[in-house]
Amino acid sequence: MEMKETNTKNEVGKKDKEVRKIPAFGGKGPSRIRQSFGRGLTIFLVIAACIILYFAFLRADTLFSVAGMIIEILKPIIYGFAIAYLLNPIVKETDKYLLPVLRKKIKKEKTARQFSRAAGILFALLVLFAVIFALLNMLIPELFHSIRNLMETLPGQLNSGIEAIENLQKEQSTMGLLLGNILNHASETLQNWIQTDLLRQMNIWMTNITTGAMNVLSEVFNFLVGCIVSVYMLFSKELFAAQMKKILYGVMSIEHANMTLHITRKSNEIFGGFIIGKIIDSAIIGVLCFLGLTLLDMPYILLVSVIVGVTNVIPFFGPYIGAIPSAILIALADPIKGIYFLIFILALQQLDGNVIGPKILGDSTGLSAFWVVFSILLGGGLFGFVGMIAGVPTFAVIYYIVKMVVEQKLEKKKMPADTEAYGRVEYLDDNGTFQYVKDDIKERTEDADSSTK
């Protein structure tokens, strides 16, 4: 009997060893040697991090150049991610309506999902290229036509201006003499510039034009490669999301991983709501501008409408960025119509800011007007046009995180999270009661007396 029991125990032990092939981390608590080694390793890592940070500050220019080179190499991936993010709502809507139909006709769930996803991606790419083709088809001929009109009308306008100045000079008035001196000085400066700097400037301009054309071709190539990358991203977006969640829960604690996922979802909600809403809002503004300019019989209708619609994507400053060059362009053809255009744009932006924008965007960012201007200036100063667009939702995410952390800290202290509760607070006494400024106390007592009466 004893021999049988020992044999059975050995067999159970062998089975446990066979089942448990992967070693488990931990077990008993860390020994004193491991604790000492851990402290020493922590101190070493802190010192090493300080040294690396010190040399990083010394070699900041080299690091920035390396970072710029890496970004330049990864531009197709960045474009692909941006394109996939913008096209994802179209793909999701296509899946929403097409997948139930395919499930009835195709037995395998995986095959039905693949067909639905392929159809959604194809439809989204067709929409993207159709929009780009329509914009280029409207913009390029109108731009060529506008430049040709400027070349035809500008000499006549200059001659008219010169004749008006000559008439003022003939009158021997103070204004005529002043304009004459200005013209003489301007003509001398122009002659000196033609004789000395014109050839050098022409070489610089030709070099810039050649470099600009090469940069445009490079960006077009990166965009096309990005479209291919976006197809892979849209096909495998669920797999990528699952892999990232797996890494988060494997590396972080459960609380930190949950918080990271919550912030990621909130960021997606803010960015998606803002960018998609702003694109729809700008398209509506462009169409309304086209209709308004057509009714007012303005010149350069298509060109100005596209400029106003595209620049409207930039919050707050966008309407002015698009309106100023458009007004100058129209004023060169007809000065009175340029003034009418400015009045029309002001009315259109009031309609957008008070009616159309709030209906489409709502409170997608949760930022006040001051923080919107701050984020646009900071993002534009750091990253240019892209920073002006992405600065608002990025700052909105940071604002949300700070607000969430502060409110959690206040809840732990059992203090109100409402901002208005701290408006006239002077200090918090030892009993945990807010003490308000004296004027506020008088207002509160007067309100209390009036309510009792």
Q: Which two tokens stand for residue 425?
A: 């607070």
pLDDT digits (tens, 9 = 90+) for 308-335: 888 888 877 777 888 888 888 888 777 8
Q: Report d(CA 426, CA 434) in Å as an integer.
A: 7
Q: Which two tokens stand for residue 329?
A: 């362009």
CB 310 within 8 A of CB 283: no
Q: Is the pLDDT of residue 273 over 80?
A: yes
- Helix-, strand-, coil-residue percentages of the chain, each rounded to 5: 85, 0, 15
415 pLDDT band, cuts 50/70/90, is confident
**What is the pLDDT at residue 337?**
87
Lowest mean pLDDT among 46-55, 203-212, 297-306: 203-212
**What is the pLDDT at residue 438?**
66
Lowest mean pLDDT among 11-15, 150-154, 301-305, 424-428: 11-15
Q: Report d(CA 75, CA 220) in Å as an integer.
A: 11
Q: What is the CA radius of gyration of the chain?
A: 33
Select from 438, 404, 440 the least CA-distant residue to 421. 440
Query: pTM of the entire structure?
Result: 0.69
Longest dimension (CA), the chain: 134
Vertex 236, ends 273 and 245: CA angle to 5°?
75
Could you tell me how many residues make up the chain? 453
Higher pLDDT, 124 or 446: 124
Helix (H) and strand (E) counts in the chain = 15, 2
Q: Report d(CA 248, CA 257) in Å as an integer.
A: 6
pLDDT digits (tens, 9 = 90+) for 31-69: 667 666 677 778 888 888 888 888 777 777 787 788 888
Q: What is the dihedral of CA 245, 233, 213, 150, to 10 degrees?
A: -100
